[in-house]
Structure 1
Amino acid sequence: MVHISKALFITEKPSVAAEFAKALKINGRKSDGYIESDKAVVTWCVGHLVTMSYPEKYDVKLKKWSLDTLPFLPKAYKYEVIEGVKKQFNIVKSQLLREDIDRVYVCTDSGREGEYIYRLVDDLAGNPNKQKRRVWIDSQTEEEIIRGVKEAKDLKEYDTLSEAAYLRAKEDYLMGINFSRLLSLVYGKTVSNYLGKNYIVIAVGRVMSCVLGMVVQREREVREFIVTPFYKIIGSFKVDEESIYEGEWKAVEGSEYFDSPLLYNEGGFKKQETAEKLIGELRDSSIEGKILVENVTKKKENKNAPLLFNLAEIQNECSKKFKINPEQTLSHIQALYEKKMLTYPRTDARVLSTSVAKEINKNIQKLTNFKGDPEIKNIATNILEKKWYSNIAKTKYVDDSKITDHYAIIPTGEGLQNYLSLKDIEKKIYDLVLRRFLSIFYPPAVYSKVSVIAKIHKERFFTTDKVCVELGYLQVLKPDNDSNDSESKNMKFLSTLKKGQVVNLEDLIVKEGKTSPPKRFTTGSIIIAMENAGKLIEDEELREHIKGSGIGTSATRSGILTKLEKIEYIKSNNKTQVVMPTLLGEIIYDVVKNSIPTLLNPELTASWEKGLTMVTQNEIAGNLYMDKLENYIIKNTDRVLKLNNALRLKNNFDSVSSFYKNPQTGVE
């Protein structure tokens, strides 16, 4: 009898397995936990099937928390099948070990975590000797699945990615177990007694503690902020009976007050009297209230569409626009990915790859069949007719050097038949991605800008006005804040002013300005800050330039926030999405700050993440990374044991708890 060998496809989820079976036409019988045809078998994990064992599996004595057994640094790590999914693990394992299966296609999610999910299963199944290939795809469309299988590379090519995944897990495990036990044993009683609780475990983590630090530090900056008033001078100038415009005084070079200690900033004084005094002097020195227009400049400014969405950007946008948290955004986007409508969501890139750019007109072409918003069809048709896609590879929206695993989140143009049955919020999110994508093909928006400088004696008043004269990509994006009155009233006569012209001084007034406190993070802005290693950079273009390595990864950031809320270290407001610490969170922050302060340092946390990327890219060896990690744990464990500062911390707790009405619960 001829022995027919088969291929085995292993996906991360049952729903994905069904997509693979459909795309690869594996129309076989559905058995318990797998689908089999005469040529192939498809089976699936259900997320993680294997996990790292707790310390007591190494030695039963380690179940009891004790300072004598720290630091815990195993020589070899133990893994075990997760209790609730043993059945599916055994199904996958038995398929892997079948004699008639000679090649395995690894089809778990294309990223570090997906790699880890499969490798753990492979290890615990005894690393069977088969030909193993890795399928790496950017969306779940049939075309992409078929391409991924056809171009699948030898699994060995992903060994460094796998090594980085194992290291990441060991790092979180070692830091979590050692530091949570250490700090709970050393400070747990102090914290519990202070809060009047039985026993409080101090939970610490590589990324988690750092994010808690960001939230607490921001809260304390807001608390300590003192509002400072400053005083500006506003002049109104009359051009003719109808036309009056305003200008703002600034102490520029040539001014009596240039660099003066009396200034709060270039445009305002520390004291109201100084501003009043200057107004008096200016009135005296303007002969019969006549003022000279010293300069008028007119220029056109082009503004291009923003870059495409990566996960952090869309999480931030949904937090602002729809007031949903990053975890909710991720689950909606994941659903759109599984419905084949969007490309892979867990991406850091905001650009397209050259190869995708070459065929991007196919996506646009498919979008002409969109049944949701009739406007989308017109926009897509317009791009195709004008061939605006043909030059996209030469723009900032395409850059292979800015892509690690996946390109930006864009619509695939497929799955459009699912649109009408989507939840309302999913429609809104899909629409955001759709419009952001189409906008990059449109010409820039053009603004006309007029700047006027009026001069009284040595002092100058500045006026600028800007209007949009060509909407360009704004036709697609429709931002809330762009006024599209193509000629504002001001603009009309400001444009007619000439250098050397004389206008009349109508009035000079003092206007009080106030400094504003730093803004608290929202669930969206903190994701952006994590992506930028702790810095909240408001400017989108600037963010893109300095992006190196962040805290956590696009796949894990929202989960960290959720975890911090669950253990009640932070809370977020459902209506505003503003994030604040709880009293417990602030107390834990003080404990970490006074014991292992480097855990709160975003640069250090980001450098661990960068190290993992370097392991993936084969720039450093995994064992070097591991040595560095173990040394960090040994050094900090020793340090904490020598500190003896638990009592001193009580003063810190007192100064914080006054901000919370009921210290017992930490509720304000």
Structure 2
Amino acid sequence: MANNLVIAEKPSVAQSIAKVLGCNNKQDGYLSGGGYLVSWCVGHLVELAEPETYDSKYETWKKEDLPIIPEEFKYQVTAATRKQFKVLKDLLHRDDVDCVTNACDAGREGELIFRLVYDEAKCNKPMKRLWISSMEDEAIRDGFAGLKDGQEYDRLYEAALCRERADWIVGINATRLFSSLYGQTLNVGRVMTPTLALTVAREAKIRAFRPEDFYTVILETDIGDLGSKRFSGREEAKELLIKCTLAGKLTITKAEKKEKQEKAPALFDLTSLQREANKRLGYTAQQTLDYTQSLYEKKLVSYPRTDSRYLTDDMEATLPNLIAKAEKVSGLKPTEARDHHCVINSKKVTDHHAIIPTASVDKADLSELPNGEREVLRLIATRLLEAVSSSCIYAEAVLEGECEGERFTAKGKSVIDPGWKGVAKISEKKKDDPDDTAVGDISSLHEGDEIKIAQAGVKAGKTTPPKSYTEDTLLSAMEKAGSDETPDEAERKGLGTPATRASIIEKLVRIGFIERKGDKKTKYLVPTHKGEMLITVIPEAIQSASMTAEWEQKLLEVEKESYSADQFMDEIGSMVKELVDTYEIVQDAEVLMKPAYAPLGKCPHCGADVIEKSKGFFCEKKDCKFALWKDNRFFDSLSKKLTKQVAEQLLSRGRAKLKKCRSVKTGKTYDTTVVLSVSDNGAPQFTLDFSKGAK
């Protein structure tokens, strides 16, 4: 009996597919039944080989060996996944397998994961492609009923190869170049480095900012308070104040009230969902992606890695049913005036439609979902209800007047019908929004009318700096980066793709170029000293957002056969060759690269300063062995971390009180005091003090 071998991206997805196909027989690394064999990858089973695979000289990083641009790229099976790769290879070459179906995620990376396994296994059997936007049983059945010819996605695979190889060429060469020149590991990436550059530029603006005083003359009237322009000097504002007080009246130059509307927001694509979840719930981009991916695999939401914010024309008939189910999930209702057509536009849907709840979402027991998944699901359901609701209708009043040759203004805003904003009853007052109560009834006022000034005064203020990036605002900046230089007709702009932006941010944090700072709700993404110094020495070509955004657009054109993959790779190679040949080391880089460490306290062994580095707190004297490692076994045994605050207490008082420690063996919690001492050679030693008087 001939079998169709189906390869999914993850075991959980393979199990969902196997259930629908009737593959109930569990085998070693796959399931079988009903004319199908269903197996899975575990992420990237096959990856680009390291440089030393091409030549042993690359084991040492030297500038003279650069650039490394292989004529033919080599691939290797990762050590951790060799077993599963062998399972797939054996299945691909089984005599009873006459067809192979790619059921990996329906996107660029899913295509790459499958094709690399298919090619590495040297398989040439006919390929089919499962392309679905939902993991619901019905969607899987429909997908298998209409399997695509795998060759239809050859250009998608070609674009995926270009992206992977371009990242390898830029990352390997630039990282080795700057690391060898500056004597420390400096990771560089085609998308990662321009993203880091955005945060460095923002922090530079914040540091360069100098607050300036300004003064505004406020005239109080029965209709409302009107303000003048800003004056840089108090005396100038005082002069106007005196004149206006003596005049005692204001001449109306404009009094109008207009009805305006704010349209309902579009449905979520991945980036807009990540931004909203960060703003509302404080989740990182990666957390939101992980929660949404899990909801997708549980058949509760549609495919998450999408850059579309609309649904296809053929989905309009299903909307009333989905809306009813979104109401059940969210506990909310859309406004009465619904416009379903506003979320339908096939022309604006690329590979996948917007993220929405699925038809089976109402069957789930939400109480069994992890809190993060439940909150994200409600966010997605709420957005569907908002998107099909009526516009928010409000009245905006504008009052302008003149006194002693100066213009005074006041604006007021009052909601007539909250529309979509009434769905979740979220108040989103922006800094520059007019006050609801700033202007009274102006219906009887006309140009040339005079109103009495009841009181006047000078209001002082200061200009404020821009804020550091949050996950929300950095995602927005990545999405818009380079848009000034990108053609308006371009379908995708910015740094990275919706599917990759979260991992880029996480990698920058993981390798120590960016750190998260702030309270529990609002975390700011701030570059570290190492991150700032890297951008200082990196040439514009590597950190340019516009150039990287242009590459992303060209990758999309490769998918559409409107741009040559060879030409794209030639451009990447030429850019890297020029970088290696022309880059000159920045003068005084040794001083520049060395961070200015602030001492935390004195070393209990030798009395020198103890400073914080990435992996712990160390004595500044190189021959002193005192070190408090952040990755600390003693503190791990207490289920605690050796934080900066704890280190400071240990250094200043020789002890630190810890609350709610937990025994690894028994699971019981307790309070104790850690006491620090040092051995004869300076190594730290810890003991616990349980006495009641311990502090």
Corresponding residue for residue 549 of structure 1: 493
Moved more, 108-117 or 606-615: 606-615
Q: Distance in 2 between matches of 1:613 and 1:54?
A: 27
1:512 aligned to 442, 452, 460, which one?
460
Corresponding residue for residue 466 of structure 1: 413
Q: CA deviation at 1:46?
A: 1.2
Q: Distance in 2 between matches of 1:272 and 1:658?
A: 42
Task: Please tell me the residue identity of whatever aligns with 1:122.
Answer: Y
Note closer, same or farther for the CA distance 1:461–1:320 as it changes in structure 2 (3 Å cut). same
Q: CA deviation at 1:618?
A: 0.8
Q: CA deviation at 1:23?
A: 2.4
Q: Structure 1, residues 390-425: CA drift from partner, whole Å, max 9, x if none?
A: xx33x3x33333332212111113233232211222
Task: Please tell me the residue identity of whatever aligns with 1:227.
Answer: P
Q: Distance in 2 between matches of 1:173 and 1:297?
A: 60
* Residue 247 (1) aligns with residue 243 (2): no
Q: Distance in 2 between matches of 1:9 and 1:204?
A: 37
Moved more, 329-338 or 404-413: 404-413
Q: CA deviation at 1:340?
A: 1.1
Corresponding residue for residue 279 of structure 1: 241
Q: Distance in 1 between matches of 2:429 and 2:298?
A: 34
Say if 1:50 and 1:79, in contact at 8 Å, map to a contact too: yes
Write the mapping of 1:440-455 to structure 2, written as runs, cut at 5 A. Answer: 440-455=387-402
Q: Structure 1, residues 493-536: CA drift from partner, whole Å, max 9, x if none?
A: 34454555442111221212322111110122111111111689
2:589 aligned to 640, 643, 649, which one?
649
Q: Distance in 1 between matches of 2:114 and 2:15?
A: 18
Q: Structure 1, residues 148-192: CA drift from partner, whole Å, max 9, x if none?
A: 22222111111111001111111111111111111111121xxxx
Say if 1:529 and 1:535, in contact at 8 Å, map to a contact too: no
Corresponding residue for residue 194 of structure 1: none
Corresponding residue for residue 144 of structure 1: 139
Say if 1:436 and 1:477, in contact at 8 Å, map to a contact too: no
Corresponding residue for residue 21 of structure 1: 18
Q: CA deviation at 1:590?
A: 1.7
Task: Please tell me the residue identity of whatever aligns with 1:309.
Answer: F
Say if 1:657 and 1:663, in contact at 8 Å, map to a contact too: no
Q: Structure 1, residues 308-359: CA drift from partner, whole Å, max 9, x if none?
A: 1111112122222222211111111111111111111111122222222343
Q: CA deviation at 1:68?
A: 2.9
- Among all aligned residue pairs of Structure 1 and Structure 2, give the percentage whose two residues are the same amino acid: 33
Task: Please tell me the residue identity of whatever aligns with 2:561.
Answer: N
2:130 aligned to 127, 135, 140, which one?
135
Note closer, same or farther for the CA distance 1:612–1:563 as it changes in structure 2 (3 Å cut). same
1:180 aligned to 166, 175, 178, which one?
175
* Aligned Cα root-mean-square deviation (Å): 2.6
Write the mapping of 1:33-182 to structure 2, written as runs, cut at 5 A. Answer: 33-128=29-124, 130-182=125-177
Give ranges in structure 2 of 5+ residues lacking alignment.
601-609, 618-643, 645-695
Q: CA deviation at 1:137?
A: 0.9
Note closer, same or farther for the CA distance 1:572–1:489 as it changes in structure 2 (3 Å cut). closer
Q: Distance in 2 between matches of 1:626 and 1:482?
A: 47
Q: Distance in 2 between matches of 1:290 and 1:597?
A: 57
Corresponding residue for residue 250 of structure 2: 291
Say if 1:310 and 1:350, in contact at 8 Å, map to a contact too: yes
Q: Distance in 2 between matches of 1:568 and 1:219?
A: 16
TM-score, normalised via structure 2 length: 0.81
Q: Distance in 1 between matches of 2:507 and 2:51?
A: 22
1:427 aligned to 358, 369, 374, which one?
374
Corresponding residue for residue 344 of structure 1: 303
Write the mapping of 1:166-565 to structure 2, written as runs, cut at 5 A. Answer: 166-188=161-183, 200-238=184-222, 245-249=224-228, 267-284=229-246, 286=247, 289-367=248-326, 370=328, 372-373=329-330, 375-376=331-332, 379=333, 388-389=338-339, 392-393=340-341, 395=342, 397-416=343-362, 417-481=364-428, 493-495=441-443, 497=445, 499-533=447-481, 548-565=492-509
Note closer, same or farther for the CA distance 1:401–1:443 as it changes in structure 2 (3 Å cut). same
Q: CA deviation at 1:478?
A: 1.6
1:571 aligned to 499, 505, 515, which one?
515
Partner SS state of residue 350, structure 1: coil
Partner SS state of residue 573, structure 1: strand
Say if 2:249 and 2:453, in contact at 8 Å, map to a contact too: yes
Q: Distance in 2 between matches of 1:468 and 1:545?
A: 36
Task: Please tell me the residue identity of whatever aligns with 1:514.
Answer: K
Q: CA deviation at 1:429?
A: 1.4
Q: Structure 1, residues 416-446: CA drift from partner, whole Å, max 9, x if none?
A: 3232211222222111111111112111111
Q: Distance in 2 between matches of 1:445 and 1:547?
A: 29
Corresponding residue for residue 675 of structure 2: none
Note closer, same or farther for the CA distance 1:636–1:290 as it changes in structure 2 (3 Å cut). closer
Task: Please tell me the residue identity of whatever aligns with 2:12.
Answer: S
Partner SS state of residue 420, structure 1: helix
Q: Distance in 1 between matches of 2:426 and 2:415?
A: 12
Partner SS state of residue 354, structure 2: coil
Q: Structure 1, residues 21-74: CA drift from partner, whole Å, max 9, x if none?
A: 2223x1431111111114211111111111111112122232222233211111
- In terms of fraction of residues, the more helix-rich structure is 1
Q: Distance in 2 between matches of 1:342 and 1:10?
A: 22
Say if 2:182 and 2:590, in contact at 8 Å, map to a contact too: no
Task: Please tell me the residue identity of whatever aligns with 2:218.
Answer: I
Q: Distance in 2 between matches of 1:587 and 1:409?
A: 39
- In terms of fraction of residues, the more strand-rich structure is 2
Q: Distance in 2 between matches of 1:324 and 1:272?
A: 44
Task: Please tell me the residue identity of whatever aligns with 2:193.
Answer: S
Note closer, same or farther for the CA distance 1:71–1:143 as it changes in structure 2 (3 Å cut). same
Partner SS state of residue 268, structure 1: coil
Q: CA deviation at 1:491?
A: 5.5
Note closer, same or farther for the CA distance 1:630–1:659 as it changes in structure 2 (3 Å cut). farther
Q: Distance in 2 between matches of 1:19 and 1:297?
A: 61
Count of matched residue positions in the alignment of Structure 1 and Structure 2: 597
Q: Distance in 2 between matches of 1:59 and 1:350?
A: 47
Q: CA deviation at 1:281?
A: 2.6
Say if 1:214 and 1:534, in contact at 8 Å, map to a contact too: no
Q: Structure 1, residues 283-330: CA drift from partner, whole Å, max 9, x if none?
A: 34x3xx243334321221111111111111121222222222111111
Note closer, same or farther for the CA distance 1:488–1:223 as it changes in structure 2 (3 Å cut). closer
Say if 1:319 and 1:577, in contact at 8 Å, map to a contact too: no
Q: Distance in 2 between matches of 1:33 and 1:652?
A: 53
Q: Distance in 1 between matches of 2:536 and 2:407?
A: 50
Q: Distance in 2 between matches of 1:586 and 1:439?
A: 41
Give ranges in structure 1 of 5+ residues lacking alignment.
189-199, 239-243, 250-266, 537-543
Corresponding residue for residue 255 of structure 1: none
Task: Please tell me the residue identity of whatever aligns with 1:281.
Answer: K
Q: Distance in 1 between matches of 2:156 and 2:163?
A: 11
Q: CA deviation at 1:548?
A: 4.1
Say if 1:367 and 1:413, in contact at 8 Å, map to a contact too: no
Partner SS state of residue 308, structure 1: coil
Partner SS state of residue 460, structure 1: strand
